[in-house]
């Protein structure tokens, strides 16, 4: 049976603001490959990724919620959200 589950993603909120230490923590959370970090098609085909959505976790809704829940710093935790596509 084919898995038809909707993928969920963890990303930084549009209006996020990171302190220097938080930015270092977020850098450590980055997914390893470009394809994982920016999973949505880029029709512009440029090196400028500012218009793309960078994600930090891909999985079920619960896995994504758990990812955010497991972030130790409360202020940093509030900078992320789960989206589905």
Note whether residue 70 is domain-resident. yes
pLDDT tens for each residue of 8-66: 999 999 999 999 999 999 999 999 998 888 887 666 555 555 567 889 999 999 999 99
Note whether residue 19 is domain-resident. yes
N- to C-terminal Cα separation, the chain: 21
Note whether residue 1 is domain-resident. no
Give the pLDDT confidence score for residue 53 in this predicted structure: 84
pLDDT at 77 over 60: yes
Query: What are the DSSP calls for 40-72, one per residue?
Result: S--TT--S--TTSPPEEEEE-HHHHHHHHHT-S
Note whether residue 35 is domain-resident. yes
User: What is the total count of domains within the chain?
Assistant: 1
pTM for the model: 0.79
Give the pLDDT confidence score for residue 12 in this predicted structure: 95
Residues spanned by the domain of 56: 8-84
3/27: higher pLDDT: 27
pLDDT at 85 over 90: no
């Amino acid at each position: 049976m084919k898995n038809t589950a909707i993928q969920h993603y963890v990303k930084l909120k549009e209006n996020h603001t990171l302190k220097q230490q938080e930015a270092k923590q977020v850098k450590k959370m980055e997914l390893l490959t470009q394809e994982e970090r920016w999973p949505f098609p880029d029709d512009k085909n440029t090196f400028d990724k500012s218009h793309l959505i960078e994600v930090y976790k891909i999985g079920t809704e619960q896995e994504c919620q758990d990812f955010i829940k497991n972030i130790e710093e409360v202020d940093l935790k509030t900078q992320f959200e789960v989206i589905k596509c």
